[in-house]
């Protein structure tokens, strides 16, 4: 299966599983709201529930990334048959990367993490409703009538695309970095999907053609794709 079809298949499955859990999470919050008659202990219970939700989400991202990481490495090595590498998902670099994913997305103090985003949006929404003198029962009714943005299908899709492409690109890069450390000359090229959704700066990165592995691309200042979230760009490598 071509790698783009493989990634699309993985993204679709990941987004579906993420959205199923989002819907379940929304129902858990609605149940908590319905059970509350007063504000006694509510915010502590809500924070505990949100932490449970996002901790599980971080683990899901890590698990879903494993096969994509391995596929990315094997795909890269396929075009460099003379280069050998021992591939084991239990190696230190792989374990560190997967653990970093879980840390990144379960840390409330990390700006932009899934936990921080989810926590703030949920707290802000419920606080707004309470400030408007709605009872918890009324808040629950409102919650069940809307597609809450923080638990939306579009957010599940965005997370799936961003995290799986990042994992794939990070571990295409690994064997190329090892090759360069072995005194080989490695070049890279930015590749877009060449449709109307491609960002202008990413088209310009593609125009850089092949550049040395350690150099940043001229228009984004980054060394590796994708960038930023929802970017579908990829890198092509060449050993000379």
Question: Binning pLDDT at 50, 70 and 90, where does residue 128 land?
Answer: confident
The per-residue pLDDT for 1 is 41
Secondary structure element (H or E) that encloses residue 234, with its range? strand 234-239
Residue 39, classified by CB atoms within 10 Å of its CB into exposed (0-12), middle (13-18) or buried (19+), is exposed
Boundaries of every domain in the chain: 3-171, 185-240
pLDDT score for 3: 63
Cβ-Cβ contacts under 8 Å for 110 (sequence gap 6 or more):
104, 116
Residues 184-198 have a mean pLDDT of 87
Least confident of 84-93, 157-166, 220-229: 84-93
- pLDDT tens digits for 69-124? 877 777 777 766 666 665 555 667 777 788 888 888 887 777 777 888 888 888 88
| pLDDT surpasses 90 at 210 | yes
Task: Please give the pLDDT value at position 100.
Answer: 84
Quick one: what percent of the chain has pLDDT higher than 90? 9
- Give CA–CA dist 46/202, Å, rounded: 41
Inform me whether the pLDDT recorded for 236 exceeds 90.
Answer: no
pTM of the model: 0.77
- Tens-digit pLDDT profile for residues 34-52: 887 666 678 888 888 888 8
pLDDT at 2 over 70: no
Residue 148 has pLDDT above 70, yes or no: yes
For residues 93 and 190, which has the higher predicted lDDT (pLDDT)? 190
Q: What is the Cα–Cα distance from 121 to 149, expressed in whole angstroms?
A: 9
Stretch 199-221: mean pLDDT: 90
Of 34-43, 127-136, 157-166, give the lowest mean pLDDT range.
34-43
**Higher pLDDT among residues 134 and 79, named by residue:** 134
Under DSSP, is residue 39 helix (H, G, I), strand (E, B) or coil? coil
Q: Mind giving me the DSSP string for 60-91? A: HHHHHHHHHHHHHHHHHHHT-TT------TTS
Average confidence (pLDDT) over 162-178:
83
Between 144 and 51, the more confident residue is 51
Tell me what pLDDT residue 107 has.
78
SS3 state at 135: coil
């Amino acid at each position: 299966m071509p790698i783009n079809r493989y990634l699309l298949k993985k993204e679709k499955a990941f987004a579906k599983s993420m959205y199923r859990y989002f819907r379940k999470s929304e129902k858990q919050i609605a149940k908590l709201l319905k059970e509350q008659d007063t504000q006694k202990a509510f915010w502590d219970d809500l924070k505990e529930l949100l932490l449970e939700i996002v901790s599980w989400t971080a683990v899901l991202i890590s698990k879903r990334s494993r096969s994509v990481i391995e596929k990315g490495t094997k795909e890269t090595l396929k075009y460099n048959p003379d280069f050998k590498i021992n591939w084991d998902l239990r190696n230190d670099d792989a374990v560190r990367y997967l653990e970093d994913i879980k840390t990144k997305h379960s840390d409330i103090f990390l700006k932009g993490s899934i936990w921080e985003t989810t926590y703030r949006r949920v707290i802000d929404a419920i606080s707004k409703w309470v400030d408007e003198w709605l009872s918890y029962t009324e808040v629950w009714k409102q919650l069940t009538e809307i597609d809450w943005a923080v638990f939306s299908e579009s957010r599940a899709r965005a997370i799936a695309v961003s995290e799986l492409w990042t994992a794939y690109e990070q571990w295409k890069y690994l064997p190329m970095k090892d090759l360069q450390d072995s005194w080989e000359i490695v070049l890279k090229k930015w590749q877009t999907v060449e449709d109307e959704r491609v960002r202008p700066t990413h088209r310009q990165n593609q125009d850089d053609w092949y550049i040395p592995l350690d150099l940043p691309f001229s228009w984004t200042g980054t060394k590796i794709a994708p960038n930023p979230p929802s970017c579908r760009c990829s890198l092509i490598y060449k050993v000379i």
